[in-house]
Structure 1
């Protein structure tokens, strides 16, 4: 018998704790199942089959149309909304992250900013979208603002984690040799945080592509609105064209973003 096996056998047995956790999980699962119906709607199954039919027989003229009503233009608009919104959110998240880092500012200020970030993350993107549409009117600008504000919460949280893991010994050694604050930021902080910040930003952009497509449903620009209009009009070939274009674009962005993140992480 190996040492690891001996240690495993000597470990205390928490049977009562395990049984309690299992019982709670089973009760919650049983209660959850009773709260919704498992009956299949025949009309819903018909719509699902129509969507599959549209994917197998897409409207190629609509898919390759280069006008502002075609899939390519709508996908480009969705891409632009996600990109600009990510950049806006990434820029605004930096000062908030430094203010929320407990090793940079006093803890009371840190907790106040953290509560603000929690509030920002709590509100769903569709709610922000409806709010900004009321302010700016429907269109891509409302989508950019929505993506920007929803990105702040997550980006700032991950930025804070990186800031709190800074190697302060580097800053202390720079202070001992008389470096100015600007020099400490330029040569001590930025080199440690730049690759992490960029990696997090790319990851968030990947998520924002999906959110930008959904925001079109409420009129915040992008491909979501044409998708819902095509479904409401039972134009399944157009639905198939939009979904094919959206899947291809997201796969391309996923591939590129994974490559960029791996290079940033691995140096």
Structure 2
């Protein structure tokens, strides 16, 4: 037995040249990419700023952290959550018809190709660019963040929806058809039970992403807590910046815990 294993190992395909070629290409790409990196000369200043941020997180401003007015951290976090939630909800609903039109097992090839092309075009543009575009349309504020999150959600959610639709077990539909069920009954008892858990898990995952993106979008005036954060950092008010960051960390951890519990419940039933 050992001799057979040794013989099989000795007769294995030799791909040394291929491995060396790939290694050289990867190393060349790393070196070429590293040539574009420029080390800043203000290393001491950068470390000092990083220390100030850390000190602000360790010593947050209590008045801002527990301020219940519209300038306080709780209200700004609530606004950020609302932007992410509504943006996820609207984008997920709009993604449903687009996903069914793009599913190759339900639609003819040309129609599915056009649908996938639209989804690809939506996914190409970053959320930051969408935010700058919608600010010109609706002005700065939470509504701009809602529009941005909605459009950004369509691209990813549609892609995940399509995968769930194309993985449908058609044998269940054939069984219902043999039982004499009509189209609505086949949708109710054969399609929706298969799609709803996957759809819900995708929506929850996208909400996690949108919650972080909504914070970044605040930097361009799309509502949420991002704008006060950048203003506090630009003004070197590190205690205020620390209060906002502490609130963000607590919010993300809380949402992550709840969403994980829900996804596990959906996966295991």
In structure 1, the residue matched to 2:122 is 120
Two-structure CA RMSD over aligned residues (Å):
1.6
Alpha-carbon distance in structure 1 between the residues aligned to 2:13 and 2:51: 54
Q: Does 1:16 align with 2:11?
A: no
Q: Which stretch shows the higher mean deviation, 31-40 or 185-194?
A: 31-40
* Offset from partner CA, 1:14-62 (integer Å, 9 cap, x none): 1111111111000000001111113452332222121111112110110
User: Residue 48 of structure 2: which of 46, 49, 73 is its match?
Assistant: 46
**CA spacing shift, 1:8–1:71, aligned 2, 3 Å:** farther
Unaligned runs of 5+ in 2: none
Q: CA deviation at 1:3?
A: 7.9
Say how many residue pairs are matched. 267
What pairs with 1:1-267 in structure 2 (closer than 5 Å)?
1=2, 10-41=11-42, 42-267=44-269
Q: CA deviation at 1:6?
A: 6.7
Q: Which stretch shows the higher mean deviation, 83-92 or 32-41?
A: 32-41
Q: CA deviation at 1:10?
A: 4.2
Q: What is the TM-score of this pair, normalised by structure 2?
A: 0.95
* Offset from partner CA, 1:87-125 (integer Å, 9 cap, x none): 011111111111110000001110111011011111000
Q: CA deviation at 1:236?
A: 0.6
Alpha-carbon distance in structure 1 between the residues aligned to 2:5 and 2:125: 47
**CA spacing shift, 1:191–1:5, aligned 2, 3 Å:** farther
Alpha-carbon distance in structure 2 between the residues aligned to 1:189 and 1:224: 41
Q: What is the TM-score of this pair, normalised by structure 1?
A: 0.96
Alpha-carbon distance in structure 2 between the residues aligned to 1:184 and 1:8: 54
Alpha-carbon distance in structure 2 between the residues aligned to 1:222 and 1:116: 29
**CA spacing shift, 1:2–1:203, aligned 2, 3 Å:** farther
Aligned-partner SS, 2:69: coil
Q: CA deviation at 1:250?
A: 0.2
